[in-house]
Amino acid sequence: MTAATISGVIPLPYRVAGRREDTADTVTLELDRDGEGLPEFGPGQFAMLTAYGIGEVPISVSGSRGTRLIHTIRAVGAVTRALCATRSGDVIGVRGPFGTRWDVGAAAGHDVLVVAGGIGLAPLRPVVECLLADRRAYGHVAVLIGARRPGELLYPGDLRRWAAHVRVDVIVDRAEPGWRGRVGLVTGLIPAAGVDAGRAVAYVCGPEVMMRATARALVDRGVQAERVWLSLERAMRCGAGWCGHCQLGPLLICRDGPVVGYPVAEPLLTVREL
């Protein structure tokens, strides 16, 4: 049995090859596999990461480099705290890839809006890298980022690099000493993004209240609902649509999502997770 065939069932051991502390509670891990690795992950897909002896959680891929997987993890529970505490050389389990992808290629020839709230920038990071890798294929590109505080902004080096090629605007809920940027909600950045709403494709990820408000604001400004894509999150356990823990209306988010179109997501965003 090859690694590819067991990738959805049995975690493969990956070694922590790189670790960067992004914020006080968020870490980016680079993971290498000795031997045959998992199939290639697409933008928007996720892996089930195992902290051996503690548990398993779904984490979106925030990048890749060859066969190396990159995941950005916020410590919010026992498993994610254990994953964030790993050091270079430690081994964690990985299953995947799971879920639907951001269809970046479908935006070719269009203006593009990437709108992220908080750690929602992590699954959108591969989208921006795909846009930059074939920059001439797209029209005007704007990356709009919201965070609670300046100290919680992810990937400041990436933001500077991206800003050389596309528009990057940042806003925070609460300023801190020395902050000279904008304060408010990420939806406040949309009017000045510079995209032609009638020919724009939007990719949105963040807290559900933020995605609900952002998608509504985009549609109100003339972006076609069918061109607005969101990433939904629920309590995913198996990753393959077997256990039903992530059911949301007619969808099993681990299988039918997390990336879905706004016409599908809109009626579901009012359903509170149990």
243 carries a ligand binding annotation: yes
Position 205: which residue type?
C
Interior CA angle at 140 toward 135 and 145, to 5°? 95
Number of helices (H), then strands (E), in the chain: 7, 15
- Those residues whose C-beta lies under 8 Å from the C-beta of residue 252, and which sit 6 or more positions away, are 241, 244, 246
The terminus-to-terminus CA distance of the chain in angstroms comes to 37
Nearest in space to 111 (alpha carbons), one of 166, 52, 54, 162: 166
Structure tokens at 225: 């609902």
Q: What are phi and psi of 29, to 5 degrees?
A: -110, 140
Position 254: which residue type?
C
205 carries a ligand binding annotation: no
Nearest in space to 47 (alpha carbons), one of 158, 114, 37: 37
246 carries a ligand binding annotation: yes
Position 147: which residue type?
A
* Omega of the bond leading into 267 within 30 degrees of 0 (cis): no
Alpha-carbon distance 171 to 189, whole Å? 8
254 carries a ligand binding annotation: yes
Per the annotation, binding residues for [2Fe-2S] cluster are 238, 243, 246, 254
Per the annotation, binding residues are 238, 243, 246, 254
